[in-house]
Amino acid sequence: MSLYIRREAAKLWKRLCAEISTEINLLAENWKYVLAGLIFQYIHGLAARGVHYLHRPGPTLQDVGFYLLPELGQDKAYISETVFTFIFISFVLWTFHPFIFKSKKIYTVLVWCRVLAFLVACQILRIITFYSTQLPGPNYHCREGSKLARLPPPNNALEVLLINFPRGVLYGCGDLIFSSHMIFSLVFVRTYHKYGSRRFVKQLAWLTVVIQSMLIVASRKHYTVDVVVAWYTVNLMVFFLDKKLPELPDRSGAAALLLPLSKDSSKSKEENHKLLNGNSGDPADWRPRIQVNGKIMEDGTTVHVEAVMNGV
């Protein structure tokens, strides 16, 4: 039993090291896209913090979702955050599964490049939208009488730039249309729907997002319009961007052998293609060959072939 465990541990360690080496090479080629996407997450948080200074509390607007879904109350508002956290952590863990599991379909770095592109595009539209019109927040800390509903003018630029993380993110007001929680949830679920392999998990993921949508409205964190707009905006944005972005390489079968991982990608791809076709990478072996009686001969050489006749 201990021998089996040691053997499997050695295999896992070898697989982990190989995957780390591959992902580091990919990160070296795509670090600018990853860094730009992460920096924009801060810019998005800064924009949400800025609109809080413009927020003016007022009566809660008439909303059909508020009539159809009973209010959860402040003591149960954590439920929607719990569901969102489950979606977020589950997706992050799935993107790193190639480091552990033998069966894999994606490259972690390339998937996150794609995800960050989707997030940035949707967040740009979100910033434009919630700065265009500020609605009175329906959340409990954004209503009239709450000390958090309005922010006093900042004393200095540093107070704005630090965005009072994480309190400023959790208790923000004014960044309503459209829901940031739905942006992340829909981008994650659509990505898994395309690159995931478990049909049941895909169906469960979509069901979870639907439940998440209703919980956001029931906890009064957003108006129904914020969730509805997110559903068609994010899906349309991901749909069109997915057509424009280069497709991810497939890791299943021999296709993974042809993935270029360095600047000499074209050379590596040609050599792999030649090896798969039975030719070496040496230019001397690129001469055309013909086949006679099952024997391979090169042009320009003399090869003696013995003729065999029936009855001799």
What pLDDT is recorded for position 278? 44
What pLDDT is recorded for position 156? 81
Dig out the tokens for 284 from the structure.
């001397």
Q: Find the catalytic residue in 44, 52, 55, 222.
A: 222
Q: Tell me, yes or no, if 304 is annotated catalytic.
A: no
What pLDDT is recorded for position 5? 81
Q: Tell me, yes or no, if 63 is annotated catalytic.
A: no
Q: Rounded to whole angstroms, how far apart are CA atoms 27 and 221? A: 37
Dig out the tokens for 201 from the structure.
């998990």
Task: Answer yes or no: are the C-beta atoms of 178 and 233 closer than 8 Å.
Answer: yes
What does the pLDDT profile of the chain (312 residues) look like in tens digits? 677 788 888 888 888 898 999 999 999 999 999 999 999 999 999 999 999 999 999 899 999 999 999 999 888 888 999 999 999 999 999 999 888 888 788 999 999 999 999 999 999 999 999 999 989 999 999 998 888 888 888 888 887 787 766 666 678 899 999 999 999 999 999 999 999 988 999 999 999 999 999 999 999 999 999 999 999 999 999 999 999 998 888 776 544 444 444 444 444 445 444 434 444 444 444 444 444 444 444 444 444 444 434 444
- Pick from 222, 141, 143, 218: which is nearest to 181 by CA? 222
Q: Find the catalytic residue in 63, 193, 226, 285.
A: 226
Q: Rounded to whole angstroms, how far apart are CA atoms 85 and 97? A: 18
Q: Tell me, yes or no, if 97 is annotated catalytic.
A: no
Q: Rounded to whole angstroms, how far apart are CA atoms 272 and 258? A: 6
E strands of the chain, at which residues? 289-292, 295-298
179: which DSSP letter?
-
- Pick from 180, 216, 235: which is nearest to 51 by CA? 180
Q: Find the catalytic residue in 44, 52, 55, 181.
A: 181
What pLDDT is recorded for position 13? 87
Residue 298 pairs with which residues in a beta bridge? Answer: 289
Contacts of 39-46 with C-beta under 8 Å, sequence gap 24+, read: 40/116, 40/119, 40/120, 40/123, 41/119, 41/123, 44/123, 44/126, 44/127, 44/180, 45/163, 45/165, 45/168, 45/169, 46/160, 46/161, 46/163
